[in-house]
Amino acid sequence: MHISEGVLSPPVLVAGAALTAVGVAMGLKKMDNEKIPQVAVLTAAFFVASLIRVPVGPSAVHLVLNGLLGLVLGWAAFPAILVGLALQALLFQFGGLTTLGVNTFIMAMPAILCYYLFGRSITSKNTGMATAMAFSCGFLAILLSSLLLAISLIFTGESFVQAAKVLVLAHLPVMLLEGLIVALCLAFLTKVKPELLGVTHAAG
């Protein structure tokens, strides 16, 4: 889902950087000292998961875990994803520094939307309902990210329309896999660390 250097137009790059700056500012404002260890652990998980990638045109298909980051971190998902992407760009040349703003927004904004859509329902005492909502969160986060990726390419030029369609379709297996991962993580956290989900709601 990383967009490579030299692909996007300057207006798209500037818009992505501006939107990400706002998101990161919000995330830092809402992140207290007690949440820093959670942010660090999930940043590491995001960093490792998204290293396994399959190149597709001007981008790549890989796990993101942004739905999980959104559920647990809320707005702090923005700085977490920014740091993870910056390290990947510097250490492995995934994406790039000029596309850092756009790439961060593509992955972090859906995390925030899923936080507000599913953040409360995943704590339901109805286990089946909570699992279904967690799966939907993981699925929707990747769907929204792939659509934002496609929009970024389409706004750059009509020549990317076909590539944008291919990228959205290529992410369908990832949507299903991320939904399953988020559902399993939710079940695990509910048993061993349920306060993590409660902290998210209190911080939002």
User: What are the tens digits of pLDDT across the range 19-45?
Assistant: 999 999 999 999 888 889 889 999 999
CA distance linking residue 96 with residue 148, whole number of Å = 18
- Does the pLDDT at position 134 exceed 60? yes
Confidence band for 200, pLDDT divided at 50, 70 and 90: very low
Q: Is 140 inside any structural domain? A: yes
CATH of the domain at 109: 1.10.1760.20
Structural domain of residue 117, as residue ranges? Answer: 10-203
Q: Is 75 inside any structural domain? A: yes
Q: Is 81 inside any structural domain? A: yes
Q: Is 5 inside any structural domain? A: no
Q: Is 180 inside any structural domain? A: yes
Rg (CA), the chain: 16
Q: Is 1 inside any structural domain? A: no
Q: Indicate the number of domains in the chain.
A: 1
DSSP 8: S
Can you give the pTM of this predicted structure?
A: 0.87
Q: Is 3 inside any structural domain? A: no
DSSP 17-76: HHHHHHHHHHHHHH--GGGHHHHHHHHHHHHHHTTSEEEETTEEEE---HHHHHHHHGGG
Average pLDDT score, the chain: 88
- Does the pLDDT at position 203 exceed 70? no
Q: Is 4 inside any structural domain? A: no
- Does the pLDDT at position 122 exceed 80? no
Confidence band for 124, pLDDT divided at 50, 70 and 90: low
What's residue 187's pLDDT?
Answer: 85
What's residue 39's pLDDT?
Answer: 93
Which element (helix H / strand E) includes 154?
A: helix 127-156
